[in-house]
Chain A
C-alpha cells in the first residue's frame, strides 16, 4: 500500500465543474477548487447537500472530468482518457447506498469483481479476495448473499471490493450515512485501520464526530472551499461553523460554552477523553473562576430548550388512564410456515400514552420496524399477542384498519419510497382523497400540512415530487401523513441520512407539533442525540425483545447496558459518565449540550 512518490497524491488546480454546461441553465457545482491530498493523509470533506462534495469526490477517480482547471492523480491528468483506468486503479471509491454498489449475488464474488476486471490471474485473485475480506472482518460471511447482510456489513464488503484492487487512495462518499451506530462504528474502525497502515483516505460525511477523527477537514460551500484546517483548529471556530449551519461535534460545543464561561477552559477539544482531562484539570486548579463575572450561556443558534418531560405532558397522561396504544406479548415471524421463516418479535409489550413522545431504539434487525408496523395495522397481531389503539383491538378480524391507519400515521425512512403522485400537492392529498373529503376542505388541509412541515403551499403544490431535494422530499412525505391529522405519528428512521441543516429543521418541526398540537410521537431512530432531544421515554429492543425501557434519562444512565445492545449514548452523556468514572461528582444525566454545560459548570464550582 505505501506509495513511492513524493508530493501530493491528488492535486486539483482551479477545478470547476458544471452539470449541463451548454444548456441555458448550467448548474455550477464546483467553482475553482485548489486542493492537495498527501500520501497517508485522512482528509474529511464536509458541507451541506448541494455544496459540491460528491461532485468533487467523483473527480478523484475520473467518473467526472473537470469542465475547467485540472485534477491529477499521482501526476496523471484525469482529462486524458488514456489515464482513466490507471486513475481508477489508484483511487477506490465507496458510495452512499450499500445495495447499489454490490454487483454479484455472493459476497466473495463481489469482492472479486474489481480484480477480475483488471485481469488478475486466478491464483492471485483468490489470495486478494481472502486478504480483502480478512481486512474488513467479513471472511466468515464470504458465501452469503448480499441482501441478507446488514447495511454496515454491506459497506464493509464494498470496501473489501475496492481494497482487492490494491488502490493508493480510498474515497468514501457519505459511506456511513445510511448505517446504524454499530455498523458505522465497524466501518470507521476498518477505515482507521487501513489509514493506519498507510492508505490515503478521503471521506465525505455529515457526521461531525467522524470529521473530528481526520488529519484535516475541508468545508465546502457552494462549490468553493470555505474553510480548511486540522479538526482541532477548525471546530474551535464554532461561530463560523454555526453561521454555515454545519454544527460541531457535541464535545467541541461543550468545550466552547465552558470556555465562554471560564476562559481558562480550553475551547478546542475533540474527544471525550480530552474533555474529561480538561474538566479534571480545571476542577483541581487552585483558583476557581467565580460565578458572577461570567457571561451567561451563549446561544449562537436556534437550539430548542432541553427536552425535560414537562409537567403538562405528564398531566395529560394522567387524565386518560387507558394508554392510547397498548401492545401485549406480541410475537411476529416473517414468512411463517415456510422453510425461510424468520422470527422478528418474541413477546414485546409496550404502552404509549396520549401526548407522549416515545423512542424505539435498537441495533439493525432488533425488531423496531416490525413493531412500528404493528401499531397501525400494517402487520396484525397473532395469538397470544394483542395490539389496542384507542379502544380498537387489532387482533379482531372485523376491525376497521383504515380508521386505525388514519389515527396512527407512519412515515418511513426513505421519502422517495412514499411519494407516488406526480405533483407534491396531489401526493399530500392522496390520503384525504381516499377518505372522500370535499375538495375545498382538502385544499385547506393540504395547506395546513405543508405549512406545518415548512413547505410553502403556493411554491410547492405544483412541483414534481421527484424533482424535490432529499430534505424537501422528507417534508412532503411527512406532510402527506400529517394531512390525515393522526393522533399518533410514527417516524421510522425518518431523520437518517439528512444533512445537519435539514435534520435540525425536521426535528424542530416535530418538536413544535408535539408540544403545540399535542401530537403523540413514536420515534424510531439510530441517532441517540435525536432521541435524547425528542422523546420522554424509550424502549430498547434487542433480538425481538424489550431489553430496557424507561424515561430517557434513566436508560441513558446505563451506557454499559446500551453498549451490549449495540447502542451508545449521546456524546454529552458519555462525558458525564467518564467524569463520574474518574471520581468527579457530577449530578444528573444530561442529554443535551445545554444540560451538559450546566452539570459540568456546577461540578467545577462546587
Chain B
C-alpha cells in the first residue's frame, strides 16, 4: 500500500546522489551535451542511427551508475499511451513517411488501415527515440542537483543579459519554485491523508485516480493554494529581511568551473552530434 507516496511515480527530475564521472561534470557541460544529443536524436530517422544513439545513451546511463530498473519504473505510467500511439502510427501513417532512398511498399491495406515499410520504421524509430530521450533526461536530472541545473542555466543565459534578459531573476524564480516543490508535495500528501482520515475514499479508487471529480479537485487545490500563498508571503518577508532588492549589485557564491573532463565531454558531444546530423541520410538502413 503506497497510495500516498506521490514521489514514487516521478523518476525523471529526481537527483540521485553519486560520484560518477557524469555526476562530476559541470552542469553547463551536461546541459550542452544534452542539447547536442537531443538534436541528434530528433533528426535521426534511420534504424542504424537510432540504434547507435540507444547504445551510446545506455552506456552513459551505466557509466553514471543509475539503476536501469529505476528509470524504467518511471516509464510504467506512460506505457498505455505509448502502445496506443504506436498502434495508431502503424495503422494510419502508411502514407505519411517514406524512408530515405526507398520506395513505399505496402505491407497491408484493408479499408482505412494502411501499413507500409514506412509506418513500421516510424513506429520502431519513435520507440527508440523515446528511449533515447528518456535516457538523456534521466542522465541530466538524475546526476545533477536542481541547484546545479539552475546555476548552469543562469550562467548560460548571462551573455543574453545585454539583450535585456534578466538571467539572475529567472534563475531565482526557478530556484524558489524548486524549493517549494517538495514542500507542496508534502502538503498535498497531508491534505490527502487528512481527507482520507475523515472518510474520503481516496486510496480505494486505485493509484493516482484520486483526482476524479472536479469537486474533489477543488477540495484539494484550495487548501494547497492557501498554503502556497502563505508560504510565499513569508518568503518575501524573509528575503526582504535579508536585504534582497533584485539582481543589481549582488555578488555570487557559486563559481562554476570547467575541468579537463568537461572539455573532453563537451567536444566529443559536439563532434558526435555534428557527425550524426551530417551523416543522417547515409546510414544503410
Contact = CB atoms under 8 A, between A and B. Distances in A.
A162 B237 contact: no
A105 B197 CA distance: 32
A401 B16 CA distance: 35
B79 interface: no
A125 B237 contact: no
A580 interface: no
A602 B254 CA distance: 65
Contact of A63 (B199, B222, B241): B241
Interface stretch (A111-119, A191-199, A275-283, A347-355): A111-119
Contact of A117 (B201, B244, B254): B244
A62 to B, nearest CB: 9
A481 B16 contact: no
B253 A116 contact: yes
Interface string A561-602: 000000000000000000000000000000000000000000
Contact of A120 (B73, B187, B251): B251
Contacts of A13: none
A105 B183 contact: no
B199 A484 contact: yes
Contact of A406 (B67, B199, B226): B199
Contact of A434 (B5, B176, B199, B241): B199
Interface in A405-435: 405-406, 409-410, 412, 414, 416-422, 430-431, 434-435
B179 A402 contact: no
Contact of A104 (B5, B147, B220, B251): B147
Contacts of A151: none
Interface in B252-279: 252-255
A125 B253 contact: yes
Interface in B207-250: 219-220, 222-223, 226-227, 230-231, 234-235, 237-245, 249-250
Interface string A75-91: 00000000001001100
A481 B197 CA distance: 8
Given A95-B234, A100-B235, A431-B199, A162 B7 contact: no
Interface stretch (B98-106, B120-128, B152-160, B188-196): B188-196
A379 interface: yes
Nearest to A395: B1
A291 interface: no
A105 B243 contact: no
A114 B242 CA distance: 5
B16 A116 contact: no
A339 B70 contact: yes
Interface string B138-175: 00000001110010000000000000000000000001
A146 interface: yes
Given A61-B241, A93-B241, A335-B7, A119 B251 contact: yes
Given A95-B234, A405-B197, A481-B198, A116 B250 contact: yes
A114 B240 CA distance: 10
B59 interface: no
B235 A105 contact: no
A421 B198 CA distance: 13
Interface in A255-303: none
B243 A401 contact: no
Nearest to B1: A380
Contacts of A125: 251, 253
Contacts of B11: 338
B146 A100 contact: no
A126 B252 CA distance: 10
B8 A101 contact: no
Nearest to A99: B183
Contacts, number: 179
Nearest to B172: A103
A490 B166 CA distance: 50
A419 B220 CA distance: 10
Contact of B175 (A104, A419, A480): A104
B118 to A, nearest CB: 40
A147 interface: yes
B2 interface: yes
Given A119-B249, A373-B193, A417-B191, A109 B234 contact: no
A484 B16 CA distance: 43
A188 interface: no
A63 B236 CA distance: 10
A404 B51 CA distance: 54
B198 A480 contact: yes
Kindly name the residue among B201, B223, B239 whose own CB sees the greatest number of chain A CB atoms within 10 A: B223
A122 interface: yes
Given A97-B234, A100-B238, A336 B227 contact: no
Contacts of A338: 8, 11, 70, 73
A335 B5 contact: yes
A520 interface: no
B237 A63 contact: yes
A117 B242 contact: yes
A99 B179 CA distance: 9
A12 interface: no
Given A63-B241, A338-B8, A405 B191 contact: no
B52 interface: no
Nearest to A490: B197
A108 interface: yes
B255 A162 contact: no
Contact of A103 (B195, B223, B235): B235
A120 B146 CA distance: 25
Given A85-B245, A340-B14, A416 B70 contact: no
30 contacts: A63-B240, A92-B241, A100-B230, A100-B235, A104-B179, A105-B145, A105-B150, A106-B145, A109-B147, A113-B239, A117-B245, A125-B253, A147-B183, A335-B8, A338-B8, A338-B11, A340-B14, A376-B197, A378-B4, A378-B197, A379-B4, A405-B197, A410-B194, A412-B190, A416-B223, A417-B187, A418-B190, A418-B194, A422-B222, A430-B200
Interface of A: 58, 61, 63, 85, 88-89, 92-93, 95, 97, 99-106, 108-109, 112-122, 125-126, 129, 145-147, 158, 161-162, 165, 334-336, 338-340, 373, 376, 378-380, 401-402, 405-406, 409-410, 412, 414, 416-422, 430-431, 434-435, 466, 480-481, 484
Given A117-B245, A406-B199, A484-B199, 20 more contacts: A63-B241, A88-B241, A88-B243, A93-B238, A103-B235, A103-B238, A104-B179, A114-B242, A119-B249, A145-B145, A335-B5, A336-B2, A339-B16, A378-B4, A378-B197, A401-B204, A417-B223, A418-B191, A420-B223, A421-B219
